[in-house]
Structure 1
Amino acid sequence: MITTVTLNASIDKAYHMDQPVVGGTVMRVHAVKNSAGGKGLNVARVAKICESTVQATGLVGGFNGSYLEYLTQQDGIMSNFGHIAGETRSCINILDERFSSTEFLEPGCEVSAQELEEYLADFPRIIAQSDVVTISGSLPKGVPTHTYQTLVELCKQANKPVILDTSGEALRLGIAAQPTMIKPNQDEIEALFNISVQSRADVIAAAQRLHQEGIAQVVISLGGDGALLVCEQGTYQAIPPAIEVANTVGCGDSMVAAFAVGFERAMSAPDALVYAVAVASAAAMSSCTGQYDPAHRDEILPKVELHKIA
């Protein structure tokens, strides 16, 4: 079973427009899709499509929190959330022909020290039956930046592989606990090492440095060029075929989900990279965040090129 952690969950509202967005005017939305949101919930849906058993956890509250749990259930995903007094946030993604995707992300309500303490105390029970744990996204107000570090340590104490996908100080402190896998982007690498990345070689060198510091698998997404992986077997790049892109929002979450499936199924790291690039590419072909057509994945998979760089 895969457990996905989303501390700053949300109700995601996708507004599909049939006309370009014009500022300062009244715009009528063509179609709306609501979903249980936050990066970890995207991971959960994609892992479910990959035919894994998935459990979603994190913090939710209020009417939106109840609605989020309902939407999670409708997606066929088990839930085991901690509950807070505040209202779960909403986030809006406007999809139109001119700008493709424009997101409005609410910060989320404040979590009290007692609410967080109760959740952390229950966390070992929540993950007890998990084969792998993913921790994704931002932290809510009131949650200290070292919280992901604590969660990673709890996963390791329970002998669970753990994937951490976040940014900023939460990522820096989380890395100190040596999660099994991280997935920083170029901006996050620059912030971690206080450097300016000028070339692909700089990206590879930084990823290799993170691996040497104790991260078993370091993955760097390269967009249309696929992804890099630094692991015990070496440094690899997987390159997908050309595809027709519909929506890139959540593709990184799809990649995390696929790697979690790889851990669950005991794939080799290079095989998991190929699988993850195929899943992320299929997700880019879907207009819905955290969704993809398995037929697209299966068509792309044999066309992904795997190159060993070092």
Structure 2
Amino acid sequence: MAVLSVCMNPALDREFYINDFKIDKLHRLSFEMSKMSPGGKAINVAIDLSSYGVKTIVTGFIGGYIGNIVLTELRKVSDLITTNFVHIDGETRENIAIIDETTHTFTEINSAGPRVPIEDIDHFLRRFSLIVSSADAVVISGSLPQGVPNQIYGDLTKIALKHGKKVFWETKDEIIQESLKISAPCILRPDFRKDKVLFGKELVTQEDYIDAGKELIKYGIKMVVLSYKIDYDIVVTQDGVWFLKPLVDVEHSHLLGTGDTYMAAMVYKCFKSDNLVDIAKYGYAAALAKTWYRAKVPPKLEDIEEAFEKFKIERVE
């Protein structure tokens, strides 16, 4: 089994562990209090999948000095990860995460990324068409650099579906809306980190989330997984609606990378099961297990199995 992981806006991730973090104050960090790693949502997915023994091809746009560091660090992670990026003149971005285990807070500062010219976008679409046949599933995840149209998720999915591939998305509302006009994925996990919005409407109540999930299903998506109140999830399929709830306290300062772990685990499970609810449960268990680690590292498979005892699933419709 092999996965094509599309990361159009990769990043160099910097994690700073600062307890009792305060603004307008100098914080000096020891070596153990900071970490640097290749990032971008789809790159994080690839790293997690490699830890589960899954071969992954990572593609997208990359460039500049930071881009070279991202490539170098990514290639160190695993021999199961290969890269096939389109190199651009712009500089790959950097992201910063501040983890405070005293106040249980997690602060992200993400750069927008470079501007990608139209000729590089055309080059990328041609390259994607050539390499998609070598994968069994396609993950398209994360933000877009400047210049890349919001509909590109749909363009890539249309190509992938013609090759008979399962497609997974995780991204924000405006990209979802524009891309669904062209094609729909098999499984969608909206990215609610910044705004809890779908179809331009803010989601507030549980009913808002369920209604939005049902609306997405009408586009032909098989399953929608919606993060609700940070550590709860709502799962919507054509057959019903389920609520996933933790039975233990979740350390909110350890949330970095949990969404990507969720996605990677669902992709991994889809190679072993066609049951959509089982796929969602496995993703939730993996994300819960990820919160046991403060660093952006994949949970072990045995951690995921253990996490099944620490949440419950309830059918609500």
Tell me the TM-score normalised to structure 1 length: 0.91
Q: Which runs of 5+ in 2 are unaligned?
A: none
Which of the numbers 306, 313, 316 marks the counterpart of 1:309? 316
Q: Are positions 1:128 and 2:129 aligned together?
A: no
Q: How does 1:50-65 map to 2 (within 5 A)?
A: 50-65=52-67
* CA separation of 1:124 and 1:221: change in aligned 2, threshold 3 A: same
SS in structure 1 at match of 2:198? helix
Amino acid of the structure 2 residue aligned with 1:222: Y
Which range is displaced more, 169-178 or 234-243? 234-243
Q: Aligned partners of 1:223 and 1:41: how far apart in 2?
A: 25
Q: Are positions 1:279 and 2:286 aligned together?
A: yes
Shift of 1:253: 1.4
Match of 1:165?
A: 170
Q: Aligned partners of 1:247 and 1:54: how far apart in 2?
A: 25
Shift of 1:217: 1.1
Sequence identity percentage = 27
Which of the numbers 236, 257, 266 marks the counterpart of 2:264? 257
Give CA deviations for 1:88-120 in whole Å, capped at 9, x if unaligned. 111111223346322221111111111111111
Contact 2:171–2:191, Cα closer than 8 Å, also in 1: no
SS in structure 1 at match of 2:179? helix
Q: Aligned partners of 1:265 and 1:305: how far apart in 2?
A: 22
Count the aligned residue pairs.
309
Shift of 1:304: 3.6
* CA separation of 1:263 and 1:142: change in aligned 2, threshold 3 A: same
Match of 2:22?
A: 22
Shift of 1:225: 5.0
Q: Aligned partners of 2:97 and 2:190: how far apart in 1?
A: 23
Give CA deviations for 1:186-244 in whole Å, capped at 9, x if unaligned. 68996433445442123212211211232111111235653222223322223333145
Amino acid of the structure 2 residue aligned with 1:162: V
Q: Aligned partners of 1:236 and 1:25: how far apart in 2?
A: 45
SS in structure 2 at match of 1:28? coil
Q: Which runs of 5+ in 1 are unaligned?
A: none
Contact 1:36–1:71, Cα closer than 8 Å, also in 2: yes
Contact 2:177–2:199, Cα closer than 8 Å, also in 1: no
Q: Aligned partners of 1:187 and 1:251: how far apart in 2?
A: 11
Match of 1:108?
A: 113
Shift of 1:154: 1.4
Coordinate RMSD, CA, aligned: 2.3
Give CA deviations for 1:70-89 in whole Å, capped at 9, x if unaligned. 21111112222121112211
* CA separation of 1:223 and 1:248: change in aligned 2, threshold 3 A: farther
Q: Aligned partners of 1:248 and 1:53: how far apart in 2?
A: 25
Which range is displaced more, 174-183 or 287-296? 287-296
Q: Aligned partners of 1:146 and 1:162: how far apart in 2?
A: 15
Match of 1:119?
A: 124
Which range is displaced more, 94-103 or 129-138? 94-103
Shift of 1:281: 0.3
Q: Aligned partners of 1:148 and 1:185: how far apart in 2?
A: 14
* CA separation of 1:110 and 1:161: change in aligned 2, threshold 3 A: same
Q: Are positions 1:93 and 2:97 aligned together?
A: yes
Shift of 1:32: 1.9
Contact 2:63–2:89, Cα closer than 8 Å, also in 1: yes
Which of the numbers 62, 78, 81 marks the counterpart of 2:82? 78
Amino acid of the structure 2 residue aligned with 1:154: I
